[in-house]
């Protein structure tokens, strides 16, 4: 989805509403494509102090699995987007500025980057998810599995064999 910014840069208009429905179903996050439904973008671009200010909210449905226990995780999220759009960079290097080439702003990569940075580092079904047992695969949120008691600490195993040798 491309926005033509020429009228803004040329000073012909001072405000451009941003309203778009984006298909970000191929957006990848932690090896998954969690944006299964269209993303709604709403906002505006206004000219202020000879610069273009982009503000918008991206509303989306997130659907993936818990990093620890693999159970489904989904929810509705909103990411706030704020950028200053420039047609050329005068040597300044800053993350706030978005360089717009040929007066065309592609909303897809901009929205994808903002959502990526806004999403939590880990996808968890709940903050204290216990995950799966590494031995039997049981979901430990449903209760303990009993593997822990049977598992022998390697240091204890050495001690146990020494004790056995002593008694021989
Ligand atoms: Zn979990
Ligand atoms: Zn287990």
What is the 161 CA–ligand 2 centroid distance (Å)? Answer: 25
Q: Which domain holds residue 138?
A: 132-168
Q: Residue 114: inside a domain, yes or no?
A: yes
- Residue 16 and residue 97 in one domain: yes
What is the 139 CA–ligand 1 centroid distance (Å)? Answer: 8
Q: Of the bound ligands, which one is closest to the alpha carbon of residue 151?
A: 2
Residue 140 scores a pLDDT above 90: yes
Residue 148 scores a pLDDT above 70: no
Q: Residue 35: inside a domain, yes or no?
A: yes
- Residue 58 and residue 138 in one domain: no
- Residue 109 and residue 35 in one domain: yes
Average pLDDT over residues 23-44: 96
Q: Residue 30: inside a domain, yes or no?
A: yes
- Residue 9 and residue 87 in one domain: yes
| Structure letter (DSSP) for residue 26 | T
Residue 167 scores a pLDDT above 50: no
Q: Residue 71: inside a domain, yes or no?
A: yes
Comparing 167 with 61, which gets the higher pLDDT?
Answer: 61
| C-alpha gyration radius of the chain | 26
Question: pTM (2 decimals)?
Answer: 0.80
Q: Of the bound ligands, which one is closest to the alpha carbon of residue 128?
A: 1
Q: Residue 127: inside a domain, yes or no?
A: no
What is the 28 CA–ligand 2 centroid distance (Å)? Answer: 32
What is the 149 CA–ligand 2 centroid distance (Å)? Answer: 10
- Residue 150 and residue 106 in one domain: no
Comparing 82 with 152, which gets the higher pLDDT?
Answer: 82
Contacts with 63 (C-beta within 8 Å, 6 or more apart), sequence order? 34, 35, 36, 37, 72, 73, 74
Q: Of the bound ligands, which one is closest to the alpha carbon of residue 65?
A: 1
Comparing 96 with 93, which gets the higher pLDDT?
Answer: 96
Q: Of the bound ligands, which one is closest to the alpha carbon of residue 72?
A: 1
- Residue 89 and residue 141 in one domain: no
Contact (Cβ atoms closer than 8 angstroms) between residue 11 and residue 47: yes
- List, for residues 64-75, the tens digit of each pLDDT value: 999 999 999 999
What is the 140 CA–ligand 2 centroid distance (Å)? Answer: 8
Q: Residue 57: inside a domain, yes or no?
A: yes
- List, for residues 1-17, the tens digit of each pLDDT value: 899 999 999 999 999 99
Q: Residue 156: inside a domain, yes or no?
A: yes
Token digits of residue 149:
């008691």
What is the 65 CA–ligand 2 centroid distance (Å)? Answer: 21
Contact (Cβ atoms closer than 8 angstroms) between residue 37 and residue 64: no
């Amino acid at each position: 989805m491309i926005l033509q910014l020429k009228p803004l840069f040329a000073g012909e208009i001072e405000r451009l509403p941003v309203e778009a429905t984006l298909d970000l179903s191929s957006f990848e996050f932690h090896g998954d494509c969690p944006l299964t439904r269209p993303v709604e973008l709403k906002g505006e671009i206004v000219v202020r102090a000879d610069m273009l200010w982009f503000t918008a909210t991206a509303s989306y449905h997130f659907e993936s699995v818990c990093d620890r226990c693999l159970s489904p995780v989904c929810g509705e999220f909103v990411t706030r987007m704020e950028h200053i759009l420039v047609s050329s960079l005068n040597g300044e290097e800053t993350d706030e500025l978005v360089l717009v080439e040929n007066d065309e702003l592609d909303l897809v990569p901009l929205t994808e980057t903002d959502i990526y940075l806004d999403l939590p580092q880990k996808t968890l079904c709940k903050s204290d998810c216990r995950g799966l047992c590494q031995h039997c695969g049981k979901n430990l949120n449903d209760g303990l599995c009993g593997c822990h008691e049977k598992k022998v600490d390697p240091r204890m195993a050495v001690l146990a064999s020494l004790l056995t040798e002593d008694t021989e």
